[in-house]
Structure 1
């Protein structure tokens, strides 16, 4: 029987989901190895093979597809491990990466230095050339000057080159000529041309994504080739796919040529899984919280669509660099199971953003950690059974967790250990609530009319508390929620995003011109479906345009109802959809105003799997376990019922305060909440 693997490398654990041909799932976790992430991938596969009673080589030999979500790209940027990159730009415009788009979080706080450009000015080279907005050549490309620049680049020890010229999205001739010169003069040196990676009208975003992509090519190329080689050596001979920031997957060899798509690789899969598991009402808004060991990632599913944004930063907005690429709209904060609790000199409690990570991990792991974490607080309160962690494969040091909380938190605050642990959980909950507020209330979304989908190994510790604080109607914990991103990767589609710039106005809409652009995008999508997507079970294309009110500064993405415009009726429908989308986002619209379109997008999705979530195999263990004392938030110690998640019968209602356990998570059903298991295996909690 063939197998499909999905691996998500997190900051603390590497999650693995395995699916058989008939849709039976199994879930496994291994400790992440930060110094060598591929080792954690192999370890998780070895654990799965042992659980199946097979030799690793024979087990992997049955594998057909392996999907990998990785943080390697963003880690390389954060740690400064990217390649030494040069930036080639139009003469007279060397400050594109320096000036960026302006803006500050705190306009009058001048103590925060302005961010250094992604590529320093010392490695920025001005190329004599100029193309106008109409595509006409104003200044011909000086090839002799380019050759001289490439000689200087070689002498400077540059490892990658980003090329972004003005208006290359209209006429790419000069960028293509420079690319040919790089291949001739510096063969084998990675380079990126802006019109290929990001044909966007905004100069800074296009230049930024170009330079980021170029800087990642050497490190991600080596990582992808190493991943495939080591998997082959271990016995896997199937197809290796990698999760992209857009919520799809691409072949590892292909994405190594455009690694900027990997910056938000892991978190993009959580809303994909939430959409599949919570699709009973497509019109319902889902708030998706993925709580790992290091971070809390929050995203949305709205009207059956996963919102995406080009406002993607590598760190704090305006204090870091913008990727300029469309990405699933995910907000991440440093609040996870491994987030460290500490008291500052003023007696104020903090939780995070620093994390104990995989090494040394929380104190209760017994691996040398000395500082208390959210996980230690959960153990102290009885949320987690110290003898049943990872299904009993790992015994936790409860006494060590209690001592660490007593020393670092309880004593400085003058509290009991239980009160200190409760304060840690409550503060982590508040941090998570504020992150959700940013992505909901601040975007005009009422969380009281949404369902909170909780995922990640630490999600169950406070999912009910989060929902109550938000006023959500219910909480949904999927059967495979402890590895939410990995389960999303297992059912994701092979995707490719195509974009072209073409300006038009609704009061003088160029139907022929727009249809010509859309036809070109469809041809690119068809070529992808016939190439990497060959043999797909289904092929779909999502169409959209980026539009704005006349002379407005920023565009919004508007889905298209049709793949080509047949007449004025289709144009009126687009204008109406724009007004509605503007109303949804900003709570204001001008129904009588004309709009202008800037660019057109087509995303082709090739279904290579079932597209529907499977079910975990039943393990035959009893649904009701031995009760134990649990210190619930605001309620004190209660002798709580304990249930086994996978064994709870469909429709079984849990009304008393309880803990619902699986091998990989512990879900706290606070007093006053009611829970039951639905037909899809989800745990539904009414808060």
Structure 2
């Protein structure tokens, strides 16, 4: 591959995690290379280090690689960490007089309803920095009270004196008539042009006051940090010869240029895991599986998401760090079950696992860095699933004795059982917790998990996925060849995407189709102005949705509009209404075709479709995998030990069939093929495991 860069243009995907920065580079012809490098406090340093490592692997200079890289797509945790660590900008809020406490009322939402000790959320905008401005619109957008511009100027000057870095603006009914908010933005530009400004009519122009003010505040809180980081990274890359375009993975599964990402930082709060879900849809299509449940098990968390008919599920009801963010986001459910999750015994004598984690430092006991509490990784070492001499391809050695000592001291001895029994109990509990998380996004959302394949990614996902599949009645587990760098691969594969919305609160019977079509036409025009990426977009696609509910309900259902033409017809609307009844039945086990229906919002996704990523399909060879067999190992699936074969995943080729029980070791991940299961290496070197339902999964 010495001359690969000379003859190819490389598209680079970069995903920054808490421990590692993952990189995947690919060409139009299907060549692909990946690597990992330690993440750094300044994420841009880790990105640059990773690019240098990619260039070294290709045996070309760093400058040459950058010159031949027309596109970098970046998944980043900058916005996420800013909100999770409450380390954002100093924000002031301007809102309609009398409504400055809306952010604290929270629609009376409380995470733990019966806990009197639950602390209020950290105030990212303290009350003294929330100012009510005399102005008022009615629900039709008519002016009841004119905007007091003097009050606005006085407030902005006060914020400047207080050292504010950003201002959020959210007025009543601005989603109907944004004139007052836009005028405030102009005044801020006159008084304090260096301040970051976030107005709700641009961030979330839809009905529901609390959702709008919360999302707008979060955007103002995270925006300056995100904007600064992206400008810093781009400046570094430009100085070093990068002439292409820099895009950022968004929470909705699309990618966006850095200018728009800087303005709408709240849209990238799930930038990292969204890349993995996008990759799941891509691999699902390649493998012939339209319905996928992705499970990503890392060091501290377990992320689960549903992909139906190759479309990731989207939600507008996310809570992040106790703040509501109502922008469209991948519906990703996270629990505190990862390789570093600690096993402990509660005050009632019950064995528990997580959510507390040992992290990277000191890490699990087997790391030998001073950790003394037993973790899931320690359990997998003691049970023989992980080879302590071949962790991360041998880059890191683990200590089995320390792992066993931790399990004995903290679990086995207190419960009066053996170390193996304790390890099996911990493994069973964490598997059960993860299966419950899968059911949360599937069964509880109206999906039958038996109709889905389970796609396991992340460092530890493939160790546990076989057991979860048995528990859930799932027949197929897919472990992608790029599982350790899956989110970075998703960054490379994703299309551009912009979501626009407009509130129309009315009865379905009162809809004027001409007006609806005009609204969608205007939304598409606005979206095209934001999308960018003309040099890499092959063609555009639009997808239209209507938020609908039965009259009197609190929650709505986002229903895709089935239309093959640009305009929505009466027949299209009738089909959409029929789909609404079916979706309502699936979600809430109830439908009433005679009940009146209301619409709340129109939504439009504009997708800039890129050249489809080509993966080289290899021909199937011999089924026999013996050339990849590296030895045998004692493992424990039950109390009695089993001696099973171990395979070097890098030597397995398409067509190889591995009968369980067996272990496949790859750099960055270990795959456990449980008894009664079979694993096939497919044409793209993904490991596809067929699961025998002998343990009585869901029926």
Q: TM-score normalised by the shorter chain: which range applies?
A: over 0.9
Q: Give the SS at the match of 2:454.
A: strand
Structure 2 distance, partners of 1:656, 1:104, is 47
Select 2:335's aligned residue among 328, 333, 336.
333
Structure 1 distance, partners of 2:569, 2:347, is 68
Specify the alignment match of 2:26 in structure 1: 19
Specify the alignment match of 2:404 in structure 1: 402
- Report if the CA contact (8 A) 2:29-2:614 is conserved: no
* Residue 652 (structure 1) aligned with residue 656 (structure 2): yes
Distance 1:566 1:57, change over 3 A: closer
Q: CA deviation at 1:280?
A: 6.3
- Report if the CA contact (8 A) 1:506-1:571 is conserved: no
* Residue 220 (structure 1) aligned with residue 221 (structure 2): no
Q: Give the SS at the match of 1:507.
A: helix
Structure 1 distance, partners of 2:287, 2:126, is 50
- Report if the CA contact (8 A) 1:518-1:564 is conserved: no
Structure 2 distance, partners of 1:67, 1:250, is 9
Select 2:643's aligned residue among 631, 639, 646.
639
Q: CA deviation at 1:614?
A: 5.6
Select 1:70's aligned residue among 76, 89, 98.
76
Specify the alignment match of 1:258 in structure 2: 264
Choose 231-240 or 520-529, whichever is displaced more: 231-240
* Aligned counterparts, 1:270-669, within 5 A: 270-279=276-285, 284-315=290-321, 320-344=322-346, 346-528=348-530, 531-562=532-563, 564-565=566-567, 567-611=569-613, 613=615, 623-634=627-638, 636-669=640-673
* Residue 9 (structure 1) aligned with residue 16 (structure 2): yes
Q: Give structure 1 stretches of 5+ with no counterpart.
A: none
Structure 2 distance, partners of 1:370, 1:227, is 39
Structure 2 distance, partners of 1:474, 1:207, is 43
* Aligned counterparts, 1:167-206, within 5 A: 167-206=173-212
Q: Give the SS at the match of 1:76.
A: helix
Distance 1:589 1:210, change over 3 A: same
* Aligned counterparts, 1:29-48, within 5 A: 29-33=36-40, 35-48=41-54
Distance 1:67 1:13, change over 3 A: same
- Report if the CA contact (8 A) 2:384-2:633 is conserved: yes
Structure 2 distance, partners of 1:516, 1:629, is 66
Distance 1:173 1:333, change over 3 A: same
- Report if the CA contact (8 A) 1:648-1:677 is conserved: yes
Q: CA deviation at 1:105?
A: 4.5
Choose 248-257 or 421-430, whichever is displaced more: 421-430
- Report if the CA contact (8 A) 1:248-1:492 is conserved: yes
- Report if the CA contact (8 A) 1:118-1:208 is conserved: no
Specify the alignment match of 1:153 in structure 2: 159
TM-score, length-normalised on structure 2? Answer: 0.91
Q: Give the SS at the match of 2:263.
A: coil
Structure 2 distance, partners of 1:112, 1:482, is 37
Choose 578-587 or 665-674, whichever is displaced more: 578-587
Specify the alignment match of 2:129 in structure 1: 123
Distance 1:383 1:277, change over 3 A: same
Q: CA deviation at 1:249?
A: 0.9
Q: Give structure 2 stretches of 5+ with no counterpart.
A: 1-7, 692-699
Choose 438-447 or 158-167, whichever is displaced more: 438-447
Distance 1:363 1:42, change over 3 A: farther
Distance 1:535 1:628, change over 3 A: closer
Distance 1:567 1:187, change over 3 A: closer
Q: CA deviation at 1:663?
A: 1.3
Distance 1:45 1:293, change over 3 A: farther
Distance 1:59 1:282, change over 3 A: closer
* Residue 28 (structure 1) aligned with residue 35 (structure 2): yes
Q: CA deviation at 1:574?
A: 1.8
Deviations 1:356-375 (A, max 9, x none): 33334334344454443222
Distance 1:506 1:612, change over 3 A: farther
Q: CA deviation at 1:185?
A: 0.7
- Report if the CA contact (8 A) 1:288-1:454 is conserved: yes
Structure 2 distance, partners of 1:535, 1:13, is 28
TM-score, length-normalised on structure 1? Answer: 0.93
* Residue 678 (structure 1) aligned with residue 679 (structure 2): no
Specify the alignment match of 2:4 in structure 1: none
Q: Give the SS at the match of 2:318.
A: coil
- Report if the CA contact (8 A) 1:479-1:683 is conserved: yes
- Report if the CA contact (8 A) 1:451-1:474 is conserved: yes
Deviations 1:523-550 (A, max 9, x none): 2234345x43344122211111111122
- Report if the CA contact (8 A) 2:630-2:648 is conserved: no
Q: CA deviation at 1:646?
A: 4.3
Distance 1:113 1:397, change over 3 A: closer
Q: Give the SS at the match of 1:601.
A: strand
Choose 234-243 or 80-89, whichever is displaced more: 234-243
Structure 2 distance, partners of 1:282, 1:118, is 46
Choose 442-451 or 414-423, whichever is displaced more: 414-423
Deviations 1:403-451 (A, max 9, x none): 4334444344444333333333222212211211211121122222321
Structure 2 distance, partners of 1:381, 1:47, is 35
Q: Give the SS at the match of 1:337.
A: coil
- Report if the CA contact (8 A) 1:97-1:118 is conserved: no
- Report if the CA contact (8 A) 2:421-2:639 is conserved: no
- Report if the CA contact (8 A) 2:293-2:304 is conserved: yes
Deviations 1:134-166 (A, max 9, x none): 111110011111111112212222211100001
Q: Give the SS at the match of 1:341.
A: strand
